[in-house]
Amino acid sequence: MESTEQQKKTDKVKRSKIYPRYNLEQALSFARTTDELGGDRVAKATIAGQINMPTNSSAFLGRVSCAKQFGLIEVDDGKVSITPRTRRILNEVSPKNKGSALAEAFSEPALYSALIEKFSGRNLPSPTTLANILMNDPEFGIEKNACVAAAAGFLQSAQFAGASQNGMLVVVETVESPTTQGDDVNGGNSSLSSLGNRSLPGRSTPHSPIYQHNPSTEFILEFAGGIRLIIPKTTASSEAITDGELKAARKELKEFAEKYLTEKEEKTD
């Protein structure tokens, strides 16, 4: 009997999702240090020396893994390079485009993507409640000794990425645009955030009207193909979104964009 129970625990550990041990802000700090050291094929030992950590320490290896999970660095043959996403976050002049890159990074880890799918448009749970969900929900199965840190990291990262608004997880459901700088109507990179839907092929529409979203008075959901759903922020609309009233509409809009807009654009490439 004891052996069976031990096997169950072992199986649960095997099913656990990999999660970032550090939050997005900490991962970006690691990527920024790499950038300051040249940004391209920087030796791990050089970075470790800069932040006063042994290269084989758990803290250093955890930071490398974390930055990779957020898509901020790439590691090849022991050399670390920052990604285009990191360059957009660190060097982007436009707050909108910088925010989009942060949103993409926030959605990148597998665990975070699953949590975004679960809580998008809903009030975020407390750290304790989220930790219990991560540990007890078979979809996540995070180990007991890791669930508190995993929950805290997600909530802190949501706040840093601007996805936590008044306690609600507000995600912009768009895709990363392949357009290059200069194609956007604002003269900059028109890449959009890809929360919860990174694999959907599509792009923003550079000829669509410019709209300045006011996050204090509006919710905005953006989809592939230039579709935007703008909702005035009221007590009633906030409660409705929290209750999942838009879930079916969001699903239909995503399917519509994928079927009729992104495919059409791909054919013109």
Is the pLDDT assigned to residue 219 strictly greater than 60?
yes
Confirm whether 84 is domain-assigned.
yes
How many structural domains compose the chain?
1
Confirm whether 20 is domain-assigned.
yes
Instruction: Report the predicted TM-score, pTM, of the whole model to 2 decimal places.
Output: 0.63
Confirm whether 34 is domain-assigned.
yes
Please compute the mean of the pLDDT values over residues 172-194 and round it to a whole number: 36
Residue 84: which CATH number? 1.10.10.10
Higher pLDDT, 62 or 122: 62
Confirm whether 63 is domain-assigned.
yes
Confirm whether 39 is domain-assigned.
yes
Q: Domain range for residue 56?
A: 2-89
Please compute the mean of the pLDDT values over residues 8-31 and round it to a whole number: 77
Percent of the chain with pLDDT over 70: 71
Higher pLDDT, 153 or 17: 153
Average pLDDT, the chain: 77
Please compute the mean of the pLDDT values over residues 205-228 and round it to a whole number: 57
Mind listing the pLDDT tens digit for each residue in 36-76? Answer: 999 999 999 999 999 999 999 999 999 999 999 999 999 99
Is the pLDDT assigned to residue 237 strictly greater than 90?
no
Confirm whether 214 is domain-assigned.
no
Confirm whether 142 is domain-assigned.
no
Is the pLDDT assigned to residue 178 strictly greater than 50?
no
Per-position DSSP letters for the chain, written without gaps between them: -HHHHHHHHHHHHHHPPP--SS-HHHHHHHHHHHHHTTSSSEEHHHHHHHTT--TTSHHHHHHHHHHHHTTSEEEETTEEEE-HHHHHHHH---HHHHHHHHHHHHH-SHHHHHHHHHHTTSBPPPHHHHHHHHHH-TTT---HHHHHHHHHHHHHHHHHTT-EETTEE---------PPTT-STTSS------TT-TT------TTSPP----TTTEEEEE-GGG-EEEEE--HHHHHHHHTTTTHHHHHHHHHHIIIIIIHHHHHT-
Mind listing the pLDDT tens digit for each residue in 146-167? Answer: 999 999 999 999 999 999 988 8
2-11, 92-101, 172-181: the lowest-pLDDT one: 172-181
